[in-house]
Amino acid sequence: MSFKLTKDFLESVNEAIEQRNFAWFKQNVFDLHDADVAAIIDELDEDEAAYLYGLLNENMQADVLIELDEDTRDAILGTFSTKEFAEQLENLDSDDAADILSELPKEQIEEIISHIQDNDAAEDIVDLLNYDEDTAGGLMQKEFIQAKIDWPVNRCVIELRRQAEEVEKVYTIYVVDDANKLVGFLSLKRLLFASPLTKIRDLFQDKNVISVKTSDDNEYVAKIMEKYDLVSVPVIDLQGKLVGRITIDDVVDVIIEEAEKDLQMASGISEKIESSSSIWKMSRARMPWLLIGLLGGILGAQVISGFEADIMIVPQLAFFIPLITAMGGNVGVQSSAIVVQSLARGDDQFGSIFKKLAKESLVALVNGIVLSLIVYGFAYIFDNAILGLVVSISLFTVIMFAAVFGTLIPLILDRYKIDPALATGPFITTLNDVLGLFIYFTIGILMYGL
Q: Please list every residue from 46 through 105 that binds a copy of itself, using CB under 8 A.
A: none
Residue whose CB is less far from a copy of itself, 138 or 368: 368
267 forms part of the interface with a copy of itself (CB under 8 A): yes
Tell me if 210 contacts a copy of itself by CB under 8 A.
yes
Distance CA 297, CA 253 (A): 38
Q: Among 12, 187, 198, 215, which residue interacts with a copy of itself (rule: CB under 8 A)?
A: 187
| 7 near a copy of itself, judged by CB under 8 A | yes
292-351 residues in contact with a copy of itself (CB under 8 A) are 293-294, 296-298, 300-301, 304-305, 308, 311-312, 315-316, 318-327, 329-331, 333-334, 336-339, 341-342, 347-351
Residues 144-173 that bind a copy of itself (CB under 8 A): 157, 160-161, 164, 169-171
Nearest to 29 by CA among 47, 51, 46: 51
Q: By the 8 A CB rule, do 18 and 52 touch?
A: no
Q: Is 263 in the site for a copy of itself (CB under 8 A)?
A: yes
Residue (of 220, 224, 225) closest to 248 by Cα position:
225
Would you count residue 273 as binding a copy of itself (CB under 8 A)?
yes
Q: At closest approach, how far in Å is the CB of 337 from a copy of itself?
A: 3
Task: Report the C-alpha gap between 416 and 354 in whole angstroms.
Answer: 18
Residues 87, 123, 159, 226: which binds a copy of itself (CB under 8 A)? 226
Binding-site member from 276, 353, 412, 418 for a copy of itself (CB under 8 A): 276
Subset of 190-209 contacting a copy of itself (CB under 8 A): 191-193, 207-209
In angstroms, the CA 162 to CA 60 distance is 22
- The closest of 419, 398, 440 to 134, measured between CA atoms, is 419
Closest separation between CB of residue 119 and a copy of itself, Å?
26
What distance in Å separates the CA atoms of residue 222 and residue 172, rounded to the nearest whole number?
18
Which parts of 181-241 are beta strand (E)? 182-187, 212-213, 232-236
Q: Which of 178, 279, 354, 449 binds a copy of itself (CB under 8 A)?
A: 279
Stretch 10-49 residues interacting with a copy of itself (CB under 8 A): 10, 31-33, 35, 43
* Closer to a copy of itself by Cβ: residue 1 or 119: 1
Shortest distance (Å) from residue 81 CB to a copy of itself: 30
Residue 5 neighbours by CB under 8 Å, 6+ apart: 36, 39, 40, 43
> Of the candidates 57, 275, 352, 417, which one interacts with a copy of itself according to CB under 8 A?
275
Q: What residues numbered 408-447 form the site for a copy of itself, per CB under 8 A?
A: 424, 426, 429-430, 433, 437
Shortest spacing between CB 431 and a copy of itself, in angstroms? 12
| Count of residues engaged in binding a copy of itself, rule: CB under 8 A | 127
**Closest by CA position to 254, among listed 80, 102, 136:** 136
Residue 425 makes CB contacts below 8 A (sequence gap 6+) with 265, 266, 267, 268, 289
SS (H, E, C) 229-284: CCCEEEEECCCCEEEEEEEHHHHHHHHHHHHHHHHHHHCCCCCCCCCCCCHHHHHH
